[in-house]
Structure 1
Amino acid sequence: MKLLKEFTIPFVGLKIGKHHFEYAIKQAFFEHFEYEDFNDVNINVNLEFEKKSTLLELHFKITGWVNINCDITNEPYNQIIENDFVLVVKFGDEYNDENIDILIVPHGTYEVNIQQYIYELSVLAVPIKRVHPGIEDGTLNSEILEKLEALSPKEQNENKEKKEEIDPRWNTLKKLLTDK
């Protein structure tokens, strides 16, 4: 995958200390990753980049919304997302990204690309079950919801009555439990 230039931070020229970067993520970013679950995107990324003498600390914080389809009705809606992540970049003999929150880059590296981390933070911030807020509060009028309601199994009063009736033989056994 081709690296996007705007997400590459050349840290060699930065002074030791904290630096702030902001990114506005739109739909084109996810099209670059060939991710098609989002209809539209408006995400803000705040990155606090702290350069230390032996390592780098990156504090990601994303906020915004993604337009996705509901799992129940397939109606599009805006899902609010929020996520944060801390990445430590260390220097070593060879590149190693096996640990989730530690990235080891070879000595002599002068820049780090953060696009993959932004992508993963955004995708993982979306809930597993995507339910339109109109379903939860009852304001969504949809043909699919009406059809689901019509096809859902109805509780039968006969089964309730059978559960409420207790076989009289059990009453004697219950009496034994209370006699202790």
Structure 2
Amino acid sequence: MKELQKYTISISSLEDKSYEFHFESGDAFFEALDQDLIQRGSFKTHLVLTKSSSMIQLNFHILGSVELVCDRSLDAFDEPIDIEEQLFLKYSDHVEELTDEIELILWDTQQINIARYLFDFIALSLPMKKLHPRFRQEETDEDEELEGKVVYRSEPLGPDDETAEPPVDPRWEALRKLNNN
């Protein structure tokens, strides 16, 4: 928990203007969080905090790499990260997350901890399919081969003419007659 304290910013003493913060993070950051997605990595964060009377605007730039395990070979590899995100913290009478970019905080909030935001931005930037770089070229080649081919079709293909209408259920035909009257 001590590791995450360095990501706490006291906002009560800040004037209404812009401030810059720099953070360097390593394996201890990921170990301090209660998660299983990322175990190792290092990154630098440049944060521009702009405070006004009604809100706080946070502009993040995160640059570094995290260690992932390949889904295909189970080999560890470094995935580069270069993230730019923006977050708005608006003052309110209650705490609520309105959207991914806008959160409400209490008027008397003294400090904010950005560790959760950093981890969320990093986790969301990771690819769904974690492939070692040596497999990525193969994957794009396979995707190019499939391009232009129909993989799924909802209409049945058969020896009959494709334009022929399927037989109509007699119950629907009776309802159509009632509608026409």
Could you tell me which residue of structure 2 aligns to residue 92 of structure 1? 92
Could you tell me which residue of structure 2 aligns to residue 124 of structure 1? 124
How many residue pairs match? The answer is 138
Runs of 4+ in 1 over 6 A off after TM superposition: none
Contact 2:3 2:29 in 1 (8 A): no
Q: Normalized against structure 1, the TM-score is what? A: 0.69
Contact 1:3 1:113 in 2 (8 A): no
Task: Note the residue ranges of structure 1 that are not aligned, 5 or more in a row.
Answer: 139-180
Contact 2:31 2:39 in 1 (8 A): no
Q: Equivalent residue of 2:124, what SS? A: helix
Give the residue type in structure 2 aligned to 1:33. L
* Equivalent residue runs for 1:1-180 within 5 Å: 4-136=4-136
Distance across 2 between alignment mates of 1:107 and 1:16? 14
Shift of 1:3: 9.2
Which has more helix, going by share of residues?
Answer: 1
Distance 1:136 1:88, change over 3 A: closer
Question: What does the per-residue CA deviation read over 1:62-90, in whole Å, with 9 as the maximum and x for residues that have no partner?
Answer: 11101111111111111111222211111
Distance 1:109 1:37, change over 3 A: closer
RMSD over aligned CA atoms reads 2.1
State, as a whole percentage, how many aligned pairs show the same letter: 25
Give the residue type in structure 1 aligned to 2:78. N
Q: Equivalent residue of 2:37, what SS? A: coil
Q: Equivalent residue of 1:56, what SS? A: strand
Deviates more, 1:43-52 or 1:106-115: 106-115
Contact 1:19 1:48 in 2 (8 A): yes
Shift of 1:25: 1.8
Distance across 1 between alignment mates of 2:127 and 2:20? 28
